[in-house]
Each structure stands twice: as C-alpha cells, then as structure tokens.
Amino acid sequence: MTTGQKDNKSLLELQMIRFVKFLVVLATAIALIAFIIGGFVHKWKNVIQLLCNGFLVCAIGMVPCGFPATVTSIITVVARRLASKQVYLKKLDICEAIGSCNIIASDKTGTLTKNVMTVTDVWYCNHKVPGLPNDEDLTDPMYRMLEIMGICNSAKFTDQKKKGPLMVEVGPSTGEKMKTAMKSMICGKNKDGFDAESQIVDINTLDLSEKSALGTEVAMLRYSDKLVDLAQLQRENDVVFEIPFNSRRKWHLLIIKDDELPNGECQYKLLIKGASEIVIKMCNDIYTKEGVTPITDTEMAHFDEAYSFYGSNGRRIIGFAETRFMAPSNIKFDLEKGNFPLTDLTFVGFCAIMDPPKDETADAIKQCREAGIKVFMVTGDHQITGK
C-alpha cells in the first residue's frame, strides 16, 4: 500500500520552491525597472548594453548560487545530530519538520517491542497448554500442531545434515499413553524401517538446531524443535506446492505428497497456518482428544473465549488446520484454478506468541503524550492483540 503512494514533496522542498519563484519574479521586475530607467537616462542608446546591464547583473547578483549547497549542508548537520540521539531519517529534507510533529504512527514489531517472539501457550478444542506440554497434553491434536509448526514454516535449518530417526523429547516419567499418541500421529513405520519405539529418545540426546530467520516463524520452530526433530521431519515430507504468507490472505499453505496409489492417484496432505480468525472459517471440523468432531456453536464459543483471553494479554494468535485429499500424481496445483481444497478443513488448534515491549517503550510514549504528541501503533495483528 505504501509503496504505491505518490512521493509528496516535503515542507522544506515546497518552501524552497516558493523562495526560488519569488527571487525569479523579484529579479525580473528589478531588471525590467533598471532597463527602463537606463533607457530614459541614456535616451535609448546602446539598448543591448542596457539589457545586459539590467538583466544579467540582477540575475547574477540576486540568484543565490550557493543556495542548494548551503541547505544540504545544514540539514546534513541536523541529521547527524538526530542520529546521535538514535533518530534516523529516511529522507533528509524532512528533518526540519520533526519539531512540528504532533502525530507519530509507529510500527509495533521491533520498534515498540523487542522482536523476541516466544510461544507461551497452545490451545486446542477448549484445552489450554501453558508452556511446554506434559505427558497428558501430548495428544493427537498436539502432535499435529507440532508437525504444522515445523513443516509449514518459512524458517529453515542452517544445518540439514542431521541423520537418523525422528526424535521426540520425553522425560523419565513417559507413560504408554504418550507412546501410543506418538505411534498414531508421527511415528509408526516409516520408509527407513524405524518403528515407533526406536524413534523415542531420551531428552538429553536431543540437540537444538541453528535457525536463520526471525519473528513468528522462528518462535514456532523453536517451540516444536524442543519436542520433535524438525530437520528429520522436514526431510521426510515431500512438499510439492506452497503458497507463502502475505498480508492480504493472512495464511501460509503447504501441500505434501503423502501416499502414491497404483491407479495413478496420490493422497495429499494440506497444511495451513495463519490468522486464527481466518483459518477457522475455512474449517468444518475440529480435532479433539477423542477424534474429529464438527464445529458447532459450542466449539466456536470456546474458540472465541480463548482467542479473546490470549489476545487481550497481547498475544499473537496463529491457527493451524489440515486435510487430506486425492488428486492425480502429475497434477500441478494452482491457486487460481482452485484444484485443491480451501474449505471443509479440520481445525487443529492455535498457539499464542508473546513479543514483549522494550523497556523504554512506556517511558517514550509517556514523554510523547506529555509533549502533546499522539502515538498510534501500526500492526497487522488483530485489534484485540493490538489493544
């Protein structure tokens, strides 16, 4: 939106243009008066000389040739002083208008906040999981969310050389219920011959990988990487189509080739994450501990209550959904053709991400208000989170 706007002239630039026009008119008028007076004095002899004396002398004497260099030098000095106070300008010629500012529209992430995002809570079907899940929380919906967090993610591992089975973090008190959930969701028998029991490792053997991205994506990657080996998980899933997140759609989609059938068709798995209020509208069902159930008014009420609770505490809410569908193995997916489902999905749950404000933010806003400056926050988050 901002890149398509017309580049308006600054106040300083407009004042300079008016000043130059004034000088041109003034110099022309004085030169004309001098020419006429000179003509009468010299009885209109040597008209060319009179013209040169009148116009050229005024042009040279009244037009400030050093004006651009002087203005540039002054605003450069002012900009350097502002830079020493941690104020950086995109355009130098606006520095003279800073003092007359009465409204500040500030970005949120990284400006008012630390841009250190952390997944603090997870929610699925009226079940809240604060922090990392315990044994009772590690159910089928939880593992599906971990899978989507790790695979449907624009942040990537810098080291993809990990080998071996998919690892899951477990504690010393891991019970059979947790192992059963692992078998049903993530583990089972894979193409390399690893079974569920061999893929469960001790917490002390799990190494965290380095990441090369920032923001929401890394927050989810760090959270899920504490529970599953994401490098292995990403290698084992064949991503055939992806639609990256943008501010208009507000979701990120992946299609994975799940299983190839003898009749030339394949089973595909669609994973999607994005703004929870958008994602849940694309779903007809929701995962629970007992399985899949239709989304009714009761489930929507639980969702709205949880969304309002986390959003009012300044959390960014990211929702997850998935579905499976059949399509030819040689199909080329295209969003405009609509040859993959974007409705009748199954909602998995959402995670709440915290980005704490900077220590000096409150004091800076207080000083602005005391100076009569109104401060507005520009953010892509839901209005509940923004408040």
Tell me the per-residue pLDDT of 99-109, one tens digit each, with 9 for 90 and over.
Answer: 677 888 888 87
Same domain for 88 and 132?
no
Q: Which residues lie across from 129 on neighbouring strands? A: 122
- Residue at token pair 């300008």: 89
Is 77 a domain residue?
A: yes
Distance from chain centroid for Cα 216: 8
Same domain for 231 and 101?
no
- Is residue 254 predicted with pLDDT exceeding 80? yes
Q: Which domain holds residue 273?
A: 118-354
Where a domain ends, among 62, 87, 107? Answer: 107
Same domain for 331 and 252?
yes
Same domain for 248 and 279?
yes
Is 379 a domain residue?
A: no
Domain count, the chain: 2
Q: Is 232 helix (H, G, I), strand (E, B) or coil?
A: helix
Q: What is the pLDDT of residues 344-381, one digit of tens each?
A: 999 999 999 998 888 888 888 888 888 888 888 887 77
Same domain for 86 and 133?
no
Same domain for 254 and 292?
yes
Average pLDDT over residues 135-161: 79
Range name among 91-95, 246-250, 336-340, 376-380 with the lowest pLDDT average: 91-95
CATH of residue 309's domain is 3.40.1110.10
Q: Which residues lie across from 357 on neighbouring strands? A: 113
Same domain for 33 and 181?
no
The token duo for 142 is 């939880």
Query: 257, 268 in Cβ contact below 8 A?
Result: yes
Is 112 a domain residue?
A: no
Range name among 221-225, 293-297, 303-307, 346-350 with the lowest pLDDT average: 221-225
Same domain for 64 and 197?
no
Where a domain ends, among 44, 78, 107? Answer: 107
Q: At what angle do helices 11-41 and 67-84 cross, to 10 degrees?
A: 160
Same domain for 101 and 132?
no
Query: 359, 347 in Cβ contact below 8 A?
Result: no
